[in-house]
Structure 1
Amino acid sequence: MIWNTMMGTSILSIPWGIKQAGFTSGIILILLMGILTLYCCYRVVKSRKMIPLIDTSNWEFPDVCKYYFGSFGQWSSLLFSMVSLVGAMVVYWVLMSNFLFNTGRFIYNFVHDINVTDIVPGTNGSNKVICPSAASSHPPQNKSVIFSSGNNTGFELFKEWWNKSQTVPFYLIAVLLPVLNLKSPSFFAKFNVLGTVSVVYLVFLVTVKAARLGIHLEYNWFTENDFFVPEFRILFPQLTGVLTLAFFIHNCVITLLQNNRNQENNVRDLSIAYFLVGLTYLYVGVIIFASFPSPPLSKECIEQNFLDNFPSDDIMSFVARIFLLFQMMTVYPLLGYLARVQLLRQFFGNAYPSVFHVLVLNVAIVGAGVAMARFYPNIGGIIRYSGATCGLAFVFVYPSLIYVISLHRAGQLTWPVLIIHIFIILLGLANLIAQFLL
């Protein structure tokens, strides 16, 4: 359950993050961030039991923050929780727009027997890999060559009305905004298994593509050339920002573990879940990076969503986009429900005060997603900014401070423990600042 909940959209950006950090440092950072976030999550799980003489069995982590930090802890934890939820919903909207666009284009071309060859740098053959970033930095005058059994007027009209950033993000409003206003999204919770199916299929896709493409690695430890990135890069904080959200479950881990039949196994189960998540990220990230054909392409071509490195007419990528599109369309209302419950209950004491209140909130959230899909469709950037922001509070600062304060009140605080947890807090602060400097 924890593995299924934690595995999300971040998996699509892990190969890009490894490219930004460098191959060797990327692997090291995934391992270190997994261990660090696991420890901080462990501190969250144990935080309730360190409060004496009070029944905390029904408490969530924001309640613990309120106990230690008063109204500031209560409202700040709400703020950072909303950042994580809304950030995830924005990423979902950008990705759903991407997947819907590519799916629609694939179906239209197939139905109308249209063969579109994009003029984008890429490899030849049946296992084609493309470099959209090179095309965007040096756009050709004609973006595609069309081979069709019919006239091209309909295709040009289709391209006008089926645009990745200008039209498709708005089409999603008609489907998802009404669903967000439902009082309970319990119907969509039944499709949670789609998340597992999507991740399993992504692992299968990555394995098959790597087997066909082969391994393309050359170790240049500190120098960079046209085809290979160095093993260590100064841009590594971009990966740590992505990983903060990729390993983020701290604001709901207590709720998830409450359903565990054997509570004494919580730490074991949490550790197993983090191990599996880290292993999945490592496998997908390393295999995509290592098999990316360089030469003839450059590793710099690895996209923030690695599925964009496969052309829209690639069958396996088409199936992956279909799986992910339906998964995200079922998870999106659940995220909206969590955001509504946390925000409106805090302000109005009721998760559904009126249709008007809920509609205003949902329009604002949907509007943020549409705006990002229209003007800043960079999921890697959105993930690392929101991950580093919410992670500063929920991953690094609050778990460490609460542990130190509880030990101090019990007279058990030692200098090594204090220094270690201050260092963890400083790491979280440096992680956030670095996102805006690199």
Structure 2
Amino acid sequence: MELLQSHTTLIKEIRFQFPQLTGVLTLAFFIHNCIITLLKNNKNQENNVRDLSIAYMLVTLTYLYIGVLVFVSFPSPPLSKDCIEQNFLDNFPSSDILSFIARIFLLFQMMTVYPLLGYLARVQLLGHIFGDVYPSIFHVLILNLVIVGAGVLMACFYPNIGGIIRYSGAACGLAFVFIYPSLIYIISLYQEERLTWPKLIFHIFIIILGLANLIVQFFM
């Protein structure tokens, strides 16, 4: 019994660091606008719901499998669960052959995913700023240099993928998840003369939640 108690780990259901999760979840919700950009180019639009459902199911199962497996199998004790690295592969020693092979496959994955991410950024930024998703080769070259340069700088000076995700998620989500939808809805109701104080207060509260979600990330 004493041996069992010595190897029992207390896992808190709620911790004060929970805003780290809300920042990540906000980015997950923000990604929806990128999905719309992809799906609108499908040849068979009637298959969008089916394709998106399958994609969400596969992604959910992948994250659950990796996350739960690593969390449960992590040797605690003697180590604490807080010692789990943000990058999944960093939990394995550099001499591990399988993790080395996984890093090679990850490199090829990034090489194939980058054109897709570059296209999404080009549509979102250049399309709204210049009214054309391909204004010129010069604009696209500058955008690609900025994207690659930002990634290299982050890898050199702040190689914490979890922090990058929650900071960017809270910042982008503040605009596209909390502020813009609420403001557009408020303006629409105002123009139709259907805006009431309860609706106004409720949507202002949503904006305040998004702002608080961003601010609290800097104190985690």
What band does the TM-score fall into relative to the shorter chain?
A: 0.7 to 0.9
Match of 2:32, SS?
Answer: coil
Does the CA contact (< 8 Å) of 1:384 and 1:435 recur in 2? yes
Q: Structure 1 residues 333, 422: closer, same or farther in 2, change over 3 A?
A: same
Does the CA contact (< 8 Å) of 2:171 and 2:214 recur in 1? yes
Question: Offset at 1:269?
Answer: 7.7
Matching residue of 1:380? 162
Identical amino acids, percent of aligned pairs: 77
- For normalisation by structure 2, the TM-score amounts to 0.76
Question: Offset at 1:307?
Answer: 1.4
Given residue 286 of structure 1, which amino acid in structure 2 is its aligned partner?
Answer: V
Q: Please list the CA deviations of residues 261-286 of structure 1 after superposition, one character each: whole Å capped at 9, or x if unmatched.
A: 168xx5x9867765665555444333
Match of 1:390 among 164, 169, 172: 172
Write the distance in 1 (CA, Å) between the matches of 2:101 and 2:138: 38
Question: Offset at 1:372?
Answer: 1.6
User: Is 1:312 matched up with 2:94?
Assistant: yes
Larger helix proportion, structure 1 or 2?
A: 2
Matching residue of 2:46? 261
Matching residue of 2:4? none
Question: How many residues are paired up?
Answer: 211
Matching residue of 1:218? 9
Question: 1:27-38 residue pairs with structure 2 within 5 A?
Answer: none
Write the distance in 2 (CA, Å) between the matches of 1:341 and 1:269: 21
Write the distance in 2 (CA, Å) between the matches of 1:336 and 1:437: 31
Question: Offset at 1:432?
Answer: 0.4
Match of 2:46, SS?
Answer: coil
- Aligned alpha-carbon RMSD (Å): 3.3
Does the CA contact (< 8 Å) of 1:237 and 1:431 recur in 2? yes
Question: Offset at 1:354?
Answer: 4.2
Given residue 167 of structure 2, which amino acid in structure 1 is its aligned partner?
Answer: Y
User: Is 1:290 matched up with 2:72?
Assistant: yes
Write the distance in 2 (CA, Å) between the matches of 1:429 and 1:314: 43
Matching residue of 2:23? 241
Q: Structure 1 residues 217, 246: closer, same or farther in 2, change over 3 A?
A: farther
User: Is 1:399 matched up with 2:184?
Assistant: no
Matching residue of 1:336? 118
Given residue 144 of structure 2, which amino acid in structure 1 is its aligned partner?
Answer: N
Given residue 142 of structure 2, which amino acid in structure 1 is its aligned partner?
Answer: V
Does the CA contact (< 8 Å) of 1:219 and 1:231 recur in 2? no
Matching residue of 1:49? none
Question: Offset at 1:435?
Answer: 1.0
Does the CA contact (< 8 Å) of 2:126 and 2:135 recur in 1? yes
Q: Structure 1 residues 287, 412: closer, same or farther in 2, change over 3 A?
A: farther
Matching residue of 1:325? 107
What stretches of structure 1 of length at least 5 have no aligned partner?
Answer: 1-215, 221-229
Structure 1, 230-239 or 424-433: larger mean CA deviation: 230-239
Write the distance in 1 (CA, Å) between the matches of 2:8 and 2:200: 43
Q: Structure 1 residues 320, 248: closer, same or farther in 2, change over 3 A?
A: farther
Question: Offset at 1:327?
Answer: 1.4
What stretches of structure 2 of length at least 5 have no aligned partner?
Answer: 1-6
Q: Please list the CA deviations of residues 172-210 of structure 1 after superposition, one character each: whole Å capped at 9, or x if unmatched.
A: xxxxxxxxxxxxxxxxxxxxxxxxxxxxxxxxxxxxxxx
Write the distance in 2 (CA, Å) between the matches of 1:292 and 1:420: 43
Match of 2:144 among 319, 339, 362: 362
- For normalisation by structure 1, the TM-score amounts to 0.42
Question: 1:14-413 residue pairs with structure 2 within 5 A?
Answer: 218-220=9-11, 230-258=12-40, 259=42, 260-261=45-46, 277-278=59-60, 280-410=62-192
Match of 1:251, SS?
Answer: helix
Q: Structure 1 residues 424, 320: closer, same or farther in 2, change over 3 A?
A: farther
Given residue 395 of structure 1, which amino acid in structure 2 is its aligned partner?
Answer: V
Given residue 340 of structure 1, which amino acid in structure 2 is its aligned partner?
Answer: R
Larger Rg: 1
Does the CA contact (< 8 Å) of 2:23 and 2:167 recur in 1? yes
Q: Structure 1 residues 291, 417: closer, same or farther in 2, change over 3 A?
A: farther
Q: Please list the CA deviations of residues 299-353 of structure 1 after superposition, one character each: whole Å capped at 9, or x if unmatched.
A: 1210110210012333433343233221111111222233234444455554444
Write the distance in 1 (CA, Å) between the matches of 2:60 and 2:203: 23
